[in-house]
Structure 1
Amino acid sequence: MAAHLLSWSSPLRTFGSTMSSMVAGRSNSTLATDAAAYQRAASANQRPRVFSRRRVPNRQKFIEDQKTQGESRILEKYQTRDWRAGDIYTPHDLSAAEMKKWRKRYSPATDAFDSLNMNPLDLYKTSFGRPVLLPPGVSPLISHLMPKANDLLMRFKANKSIFLRSIDDPAIARQYTEHKAHTTVARFSPSGFYVASGDVTGLVRVWDCVGEGHTKGEYSIVNGRINDLAWDGDSQRIIAVGDGKQRYGHCITWDSGNTVGEIYGHTQQINSVSIRQQRPLRAAAAGDDKNLVFYHGAPFKFNTGIRDKHTNYIYGVGFSPDGSTLVSVGADRRIWLYDGKTGEPRGQIGEGEHKGSIFSVSWSKDSRKFVTASADKTVKVWDVEAGKVSQTWYIGGEGSTDVNDQQVGVVWPPGRSDNLLISLSLGGNLNYLAEGTPEPRQVIQGHQKNITSLTQSHHGSDNGTLWTGSFDGRVCSWDVPTGTAAEVDGESHSAYIAGLAPMQEGNGRIYSVAWDDTIRSMDVGTKTYTGSSSKLSGQPKGIAAAAAVLVGTSESVEIYKDGQKIGDFKSKFPITTVAAHGNTAAIGGDDSTVQICEISGATLIPKTDIKASRNPVSALAFSPNGSLLAVGDSRGRVLVYNVADATLVTDRWTAHTSRITSIAWNENGTHVVSGALDTNIFVWNLANPGEWLQATNAHKEGVNGVAWVSGSKIASAGADAAVKLWKVEGLE
């Protein structure tokens, strides 16, 4: 067994998305409740009602063990996903027969809309800006504010994570990663202790957001995507709605999943739901059928349906904080107000003010105003009593024609004294807005898609800037001390960023290649694209910059100088990756060969071939002085060779279980960090190859880039669209 030389601390910062990965589990208090339920059942000689394929633990043995071994050991021993307090289990783990039994017990026998087989999503595949049905690649949606006022909850549709971010310091963030499918919505409970989140499979998960992020419950609501959900004022009940085949929504208690109401009255998918926070409890839901349905509770039951107020899809509904008023907005650009207790329509306001669909609405804490976000690229504050607009922000400038400036989400954070509003642009920017100020106070930028490349500036003293590229062609620079990001200005790539490389000569340039088959350069100081792009001969596999800029394609290595192609080198094997240091280049091949070449003007001169392994080479990195070369392959191995004589230094670094995507050396050349598709990051010790440090599940869905920021800090980026900064302790 290898001893661990190093130890990870918690991630220092997570830029754009998250601060640390959490491990899902159940709290000791929950387990204690479960154990108590089991003990009561055993003493009464009753069998708990559990719908499960697995056998229930022996009751008598459980009691005996509890007496002899202590509660903590027993709780650990009997921690399973098959039973919980109340003996009601969610159906996502059940067999088909058990699922049928569960539905028969907890769901209505018939559904008036079972015969509706049309999927309304088919009608909107070319639409933009839908608040819950965004086109692929539009990831974050503002959801709700924690009562603590400084934590903003966002969800990322492009992956399977939920992110909690601080409003005042967005670099401070947390990540929930227990969803197995793409997430669609998330909401804080009014108490601020829990978050409920939904995904495309119809599963709602409730988890602790103030502790370690343990999952408290998982419940199957509809057999389709969850579009929205809402908590009641007691933080006890949840209504979740979406696009199901048997039903479009359901109401449950968060701790047990018991049914506490039926959501019916709609003939198409439901887009939005809201619950009145005062008693008597009321709820409202609206969707693609242009129908707003009012419910009385609890348990929640159909009261009335209002069909004649909106002429197009309804995108948002919301009760005011004092419960007196309900508002609805939609694609018809209309805003309707209703009595919050009876549901009686009060009237329409603001006709003709918005020039595009209204996607989102949020109330001020005093219930006197609300704010709307629209496809016309504006955010408007409305005075409820006057029925008029009190302020308008033109995001991107008045007259903007950029579709990314469409406003698809907005929230008015409660509990803040600065009256801050936050809106979300279709392009993913978060706009901090303050009443009385015509321009956004701050714009938070970042990635919405899989981050595919990561590098660091080497220009002068600018070692505190990271550069990242993502699947959609966006490139961002990140200030390490503050964690703020800025998208590179100018004409950008239009597809997957295949590589980023800084010039080692210190001319202040970062070069990028993408699957639009172009190479571009960026100025480090101004953070803008410079000059025009150059067309590549094929799809790029990687890029490296030293005495020249080398771009590897499947057939050759193209050589560039000052943005212009000056030559190429035909390889004898399919190229997978390239690296360079000074006048030396390394070319990795699909046949597991690494070819060492000398960079000589407009060509490469082959020097040595290294047969690194029996697997394709996937990553290469020279040590800071260029004497050593680290080689990663598609099976998760990392090997180190002397460049001068091609001798093997170590081949013991084999702990990864899938393709190595990135390798980086520390400034002293004594340690190597590697990232792989297995989601893990390893730090390796060159002096003691048998000693390493592992950060498991560093990035959900895989690590795509690593960089050594300083002596004890490592940056990483991955498929979860997050950039994380780690501190490594105990380097020797």
Structure 2
Amino acid sequence: MPFKTGPLYPCNPATERAVSTKLSVDPKGEKVVYTNGRAVIIRDLNHTDLSHAYTQHTQSATVARISPSGFYCASGDVAGNVRIWDVTQPENILKLAIRPLGGRINDLAWDGESKRIIVGGDGKDSGPEANHYIPLLPFRGLRFGAAFFMDSGSTCGEITGHAKAITSLDIRHQRPFRAISGSDDNTVILHTGVPFKYEKMISQHARFVQDVRYSPDGEAFASVGSDGKIFIYGGKEGDVKGEIKRDSTSSLMACSWSKDSKSVASAGADGIVTIWDASTLKSTQTYTIGTDIPSQQNGVVYAGPNTLVSVSLSGVLNVFDTREGSKWRTLHGPPKAITSAVMSDKTFYTGSFDGSIKSFSSAGECDSVKGNGHNGRVAAMSHDGTKTWSAGWDDKVASIEGDNFGGSSIAVKAQPADIASTPGAVYVASAAGLEIHPRPDGSSSVRSGAVTSVAAHPGPNEDLVAFGNAQKKVSLGRRNGTDIQVDAEFDDNRGEVQALAFSPDGSLLAAADSSGRIVLIDTNDKKAIVTSRWTFHSGRVTSLNFSPNGKRLASGGMDESIYIWEVGRPLKNTAIKNSHPGGVSSVAWKDGNTGLISTGADGCVRTWTVDEI
């Protein structure tokens, strides 16, 4: 095989204010499972580079849970689809694909025998077509829940009784089986089984029920809601055992039982995670994550006897060792689709759609870049040899030093589309034109005419600069003070020029466009040497990067593919298909001329080793 996959550095969970984020763990308690976009992430809590991403959903995934046996994972999405897939093999072979609901799947649960699954969510479809994938499931009109066997998809009961969308549900793992479901109609319903059927409605909450969970021993279950209340119930009959009294009335978003069934943890919108004694209904441990909005706690799960994991609204995972008092560690990752990235010495920076920037060390450790950064999409990033620059849709260019935004920032004339930097200047491409900002701080200028992409290579006396536009033209020139002296123009591209890159010695320039074509230009002879051979991308090319020796060119595109082109042998290439669901946003070289790192719309950072051809 011409390439090998390396460690994956995952995105963090997708969160939404006032919506519970469903976290789960594997049976061993070593990995936490969550979703972001179309990806289901299985993240190792101690070794991030052992994480795995499942990306076969065609719609945004909402919840994923591994079976008690540890062999399969069931994941649901916003379209009502549930996929059951093997977690013991990297290929994740599909066991069953089913559409039990017509709307979003909010939660799902396995029974203790890993044979049955119940799901709950929105019941948007009210016609028989909603049952197309479950022929044996009788039509009952608008449904908010369903129960089926994991091997055949045939029905094993009904999850009924709610008047609004089900937000959470769970199954008692001991016989006799019981199922519980919480809903936006403020009620909890107990179902007997199997087959599952309606038993009783419990109306203790005054507002939305956000989460319901059975204790591991099956003797009790708990519910939390937007009214800030926690109730404990008997596991078999659903009788109310007690209410936990809290000092705060803020919404509770999630709850989870300890492995010994003696404690229950809650996560609230007040930024507090609390552990409660299930017998005394008193608090035994409290963690205050913060009081600002990003610190709101959206989900919580026990990963082991002494390990608790919560997720903040910002997407940060908080890992608590319940034996260490009030201390905890955090796990970072891009919270949204990665829109740009750059390699800076041994640090890899990623910029996301929400404006956040993360830094990855050579060992893959991730941290957030702190300070006054961007409040809009990070459109492009560049490294000038000493400093890293980022351009955002907040019409600002910021500098990055280590894990902090530096004091240098530049206000640009229009929304930036691309950025390039050298020790002598920062170049910004936008609809206003090509902005030139000499460094150290000097008077800036704008070359008129909309520019879609830009690249720069430092020279001994002046920078070599290339820029492209929507008219399929690439201009090549040199910076003369605050202006660009254009030496040559090329019109070999067949679409809007989206990406440009110089080789390390500046002798070659690659230009890629929206049609998928890549043109290779000799900057010394001022002529195109490859014009029609590098056209394998089926969509817009978003990123180009030459290897350190200049003999290979990596390209990434919206067709979810990465190609490695051989400069000396234009007919040779290595294709990495389906590398990032939703499209590749950036490619960069690491570890010489064979190690590659890439980012994409899935929010993940992936590494590859490409064989020499």
TM-score by length of 2: 0.93
238, 254, 268: which one aligns with 1:360 = 254
Displacement, 1:616? 1.6
1:438–1:355 CA distance, 2 compared to 1 (3 A) = farther
Displacement, 1:128? 2.4
Aligned mates of 2:443, 2:429 — CA distance in 1: 14
Preserved CA contact (<8 Å) 1:511 1:522? yes
Q: Look up the equivalent residue of 1:567 and give its one-letter code.
A: S
Residue aligning to 2:167: 271
Aligned mates of 1:387, 1:266 — CA distance in 2: 28
Displacement, 1:480? 2.5
Deviations 1:603-639 (A, max 9, x none): 2222211223232211100000011101111111112
Displacement, 1:602? 2.0
Once the two structures are superposed, the pairs formed by residues 172-321 of structure 1 within 5 Å of their partners are 172-211=50-89, 212-245=91-124, 246-307=142-203, 309-321=204-216
393, 417, 437: which one aligns with 1:541 = 417
Q: Look up the equivalent residue of 1:655 and give its one-letter code.
A: F
11, 16, 31: which one aligns with 2:10 = 16
Residue segments in structure 2 that go unaligned for 5+ positions in a row: 125-141
Preserved CA contact (<8 Å) 2:286 2:326? no
Residue aligning to 2:134: none
Displacement, 1:653? 1.2
Q: Look up the equivalent residue of 2:303 and give its one-letter code.
A: P
Preserved CA contact (<8 Å) 1:355 1:376? no
Preserved CA contact (<8 Å) 1:408 1:425? yes
Moved more, 624-633 or 354-363: 354-363
Preserved CA contact (<8 Å) 1:666 1:710? no
Establish whether residue 471 from structure 1 lines up as the match of residue 353 from structure 2: yes
Displacement, 1:151? 2.0
Aligned mates of 1:565, 1:355 — CA distance in 2: 55
Q: Considering only CA atoms, is the larger Rg found in Structure 1 or Structure 2?
A: 1
Preserved CA contact (<8 Å) 1:149 1:413? yes
Preserved CA contact (<8 Å) 2:229 2:249? no
Displacement, 1:142? 4.7
Aligned mates of 1:374, 1:562 — CA distance in 2: 48
40, 54, 57: which one aligns with 1:162 = 40
Aligned mates of 2:343, 2:352 — CA distance in 1: 15
Preserved CA contact (<8 Å) 1:520 1:563? no
Aligned mates of 2:259, 2:558 — CA distance in 1: 45
Residue aligning to 2:365: 484
Aligned mates of 1:340, 1:612 — CA distance in 2: 71
| Higher relative contact order structure (alpha carbons within 8 Å, sequence separation ≥ 6) | 1
Q: Look up the equivalent residue of 1:177 and give its one-letter code.
A: T
Deviations 1:78-125 (A, max 9, x none): xxxxxxxxxxxxxxxxxxxxxxxxxxxxxxxxxxxxxxxxxxxxxxxx
Residue aligning to 1:76: none
Moved more, 169-178 or 334-343: 169-178
Establish whether residue 148 from structure 1 lines up as the match of residue 38 from structure 2: no
Residue aligning to 2:139: none
432, 453, 477: which one aligns with 1:555 = 432
Residue aligning to 2:530: 650
SS of the residue aligned with 2:495?
Answer: coil
Aligned mates of 1:653, 1:667 — CA distance in 2: 20
Establish whether residue 530 from structure 1 lines up as the match of residue 406 from structure 2: yes
Aligned mates of 1:629, 1:709 — CA distance in 2: 20
Aligned mates of 1:722, 1:127 — CA distance in 2: 19
Deviations 1:398-450 (A, max 9, x none): xx3x2010011111014x5xx11111000000011111434443211111211
Establish whether residue 455 from structure 1 lines up as the match of residue 342 from structure 2: yes
Once the two structures are superposed, the pairs formed by residues 401-420 of structure 1 within 5 Å of their partners are 402-414=292-304, 419-420=306-307
Preserved CA contact (<8 Å) 2:22 2:107? no
Q: What root-mean-square deviation, in Å, do the aligned CA atoms of Structure 1 and Structure 2 show? A: 1.6
Residue aligning to 2:452: 576
Q: Look up the equivalent residue of 1:378 and give its one-letter code.
A: I
TM-score by length of 1: 0.78
Displacement, 1:160? 1.2
1:176–1:259 CA distance, 2 compared to 1 (3 A) = same
Residue aligning to 1:667: 548
Aligned mates of 1:563, 1:424 — CA distance in 2: 42
Preserved CA contact (<8 Å) 1:276 1:340? yes
Preserved CA contact (<8 Å) 1:567 1:603? no
Aligned mates of 2:280, 2:481 — CA distance in 1: 73
Q: Look up the equivalent residue of 1:425 and give its one-letter code.
A: S
Moved more, 316-325 or 646-655: 646-655
SS of the residue aligned with 1:653?
Answer: coil
Structure with the larger helix share: 1
Establish whether residue 501 from structure 1 lines up as the match of residue 382 from structure 2: yes
Displacement, 1:645? 2.2
Establish whether residue 128 from structure 1 lines up as the match of residue 9 from structure 2: no
Aligned mates of 1:565, 1:559 — CA distance in 2: 10
SS of the residue aligned with 1:268?
Answer: coil
1:329–1:565 CA distance, 2 compared to 1 (3 A) = farther
Q: Look up the equivalent residue of 1:385 and give its one-letter code.
A: S
Residue aligning to 1:331: 226
Residue aligning to 2:243: 348
1:376–1:726 CA distance, 2 compared to 1 (3 A) = same
SS of the residue aligned with 2:294?
Answer: helix
Deviations 1:619-677 (A, max 9, x none): 10000001110111111111211112211222311111111100001110000100000
Aligned mates of 1:201, 1:614 — CA distance in 2: 37
Displacement, 1:585? 0.5
Aligned mates of 1:723, 1:413 — CA distance in 2: 24
Displacement, 1:353? 3.3
Aligned mates of 2:26, 2:407 — CA distance in 1: 46
Preserved CA contact (<8 Å) 1:356 1:375? yes
Preserved CA contact (<8 Å) 1:591 1:614? no
Displacement, 1:565? 6.1
Preserved CA contact (<8 Å) 2:493 2:512? no
Structure with the larger strand share: 2
Q: Look up the equivalent residue of 2:497 and give its one-letter code.
A: V
Displacement, 1:348? 0.7
Residue aligning to 1:7: 2
Moved more, 597-606 or 437-446: 437-446
Q: Look up the equivalent residue of 1:16 and give its one-letter code.
A: P
Q: Look up the equivalent residue of 1:479 and give its one-letter code.
A: S
Displacement, 1:127? 8.4
Q: Look up the equivalent residue of 2:224 and give its one-letter code.
A: V
Please identify runs of 4+ aligned residues in structure 1 that moved more than 3 A. 438-441, 561-565
Preserved CA contact (<8 Å) 1:164 1:174? yes
Aligned mates of 1:528, 1:563 — CA distance in 2: 20
Aligned mates of 1:678, 1:128 — CA distance in 2: 32
Q: Look up the equivalent residue of 1:12 and give its one-letter code.
A: G
Residue aligning to 1:516: 394
575, 583, 590: which one aligns with 1:709 = 590
Aligned mates of 2:239, 2:83 — CA distance in 1: 34
Q: Look up the equivalent residue of 1:252 and give its one-letter code.
A: F
**How many residues matched?**
586
Preserved CA contact (<8 Å) 1:534 1:563? no
Preserved CA contact (<8 Å) 1:142 1:424? no
Displacement, 1:498? 0.8
Deviations 1:423-479 (A, max 9, x none): 10000000111114344432111112110101011xxxxx22101101111111111
Q: Look up the equivalent residue of 2:295 and give its one-letter code.
A: D
Preserved CA contact (<8 Å) 1:237 1:251? yes
204, 212, 217: which one aligns with 1:322 = 217
Deviations 1:696-729 (A, max 9, x none): 0000010010001122210100001111111112
